[in-house]
Structure 1
Amino acid sequence: MSAPRHLDPRLLRAFLAVAEELHFTRAAARLYVAQQALSRDVRRLERELRAELFVRTTRQVTLTADGERLVPSARRVLQAQDDLLAAFGQARPLLVDLNFPDQATARRVLRRARELAPEQELMARYESGLAGAAGEMVAGRLDVSFGRFAGLDPALRVRLAHQPVRYEPMAVVLPEDHRLAGLEAVPLDALCGETVYAGAGNPRTTEWTDLARRLFECRGIGLAAPLPLAVGDEEFQRIMAKTRNPILAVVGFPAMRGTVLRPLVDPVPLSPVSLVWRKGLVHPGFDALRQAAAEISAAEGWLRRPADGWIPATDVSMMDAHI
């Protein structure tokens, strides 16, 4: 067995789970990951070690001689890592960006992660968008964020990793006296002729503005011109009340005075949400966060796309590659 110079501990954890369960489905459930992702990690480890670790048949999974030889070494490596994290893991909190205070998806994941790892400090931050958070993560000032990974600059993406969490249905925030406010759901074509605000001018939410641009293309829906960045909920609401532009949002967007929130339909636009982190991140609270995201996503069916759902092709390929 010719070992590489570096091995991702995640690959060793995937290997050990399968080695102990001798069953990919049970091992995936134990790690709170999709079976496809677990199989991909095991194959990657086999490639990196240039060794076959398992014999797979339709009826059973067994360890090869190289697999048997790797088990005790993998356990020692992971135990050493766990010991190191136990000694230093609480030296600082894990900084988790939720985008904004009432972001329902991210808040649920963070709440569950805190339940799974109560001894760890997972501290929330609010960068207001993944594009802004991405730069902070690369610089080491932030650890984890949530948002549309495909919308990031490729130069940032190569330094980050992501785990798909949800296809979140999108909505529109309307002044309560708007012509469409009386509808229970707003067909996308009904916005033809409207000018909709989607974070234009906010450098921290460029991935969201790009998603809106792709959604509105060829539909006769305008994108509101850039505005000065409004800092704080009160100032944002004041500006929106002044411009009276509909606001592109998601179904869990917090209520605003004098407005109504209506889901978009025909088709149902979906906002792809991933857990995003800096490559190489090691922290015991981070493991709990990934586990929480996988657990809730599976339980809620967050990654099932409705038949009439809309999402850019670039996002589909990037999300599916990690599901």
Structure 2
Amino acid sequence: MITYQPNILVFSPEQAEAYAECIRDHGFTSVKAAATQEEAEKYLPSTEVILGWNFPTKLLNKPIASSVRWFQSIGAGVDDLIADNLIPENITLTRIVNQFGSYISEYVFTFLLYILKDVPRMKQSQMERQWDPFISESLAGKTIGVAGLGSIGAEIVRKARAFEMNVHGLSFSAKQAHLVDCHFTPDEWGEFVKDLDYLVLTLPLTDATHHIINRDILLAMKPKACLINVGRGALIDEGDLIPVMQSGHLLAAILDVFEKEPLPKDHVFWSMLNVYVTSHLSGPSTTDGVSRFFVENLKRFLHEQPLHGLVDRKRGY
């Protein structure tokens, strides 16, 4: 039985009411849903907790938001919120964690197998009614490098083990170094990438990781290696990546995130045969998953326990 009911505002341009209904189903009744700035302004007075996506943060500096104590982002990436100086320092920020590992790791291996096993050739043979029993390569014995060993990176490592791959990792701390065969730190990018068949980026975007993948790093990779970005778009300097891909140095770049989203229709990536473009879909925020995470954090909030996904503004994530 929930005795104290904090005033909760759910903000989402498209799914606010769906999230609110899920939260109410868990016994929290003081929940308002807003899909527009006008609705947010209406419900902000006396609001203590916000679950939000694309929230109009300029409202948080107004007197109507003086009661807000905690802002839970619906997504995992919070670089935009951290950079937003309109959010008062006294508001606690949290992000979704431990929700996306399965989805994103399946996305990664979907493309690795699609390319390695040459699925397009198989389908073309079918269309042409050609019997073409070619021998493809195996992931076993290949070397995958995972940059970022949080919950997403750790799940990619786990699945790589199932394919009997060699696994290297890079992270800003060595807390998860035991997960990989070789661990590297951020001052060892050149050493980290030089032996990889596949480089997977799951890092958060911070000042230290902005454009961390540049021409020098790309050219330090093995010819015909593959780059996969499921982290943040600005981890890669797209201006450097384009000529590297045009030169054929890398076999493929699999990109789910970009510096500007949606990717402009006239962007060269759309037409490059060795670049695979997807629409920031590898790690979906499902209504049920986000709501369960938020409700668990609400219970911790009510009992004054440390919140999951707590954001360190100085660290950047």
Structure 1 length-normalised TM: 0.36
Structure 2 length-normalised TM: 0.36
More helix by percentage: 1
Higher relative contact order (CA closer than 8 Å, sequence separation 6+): 1
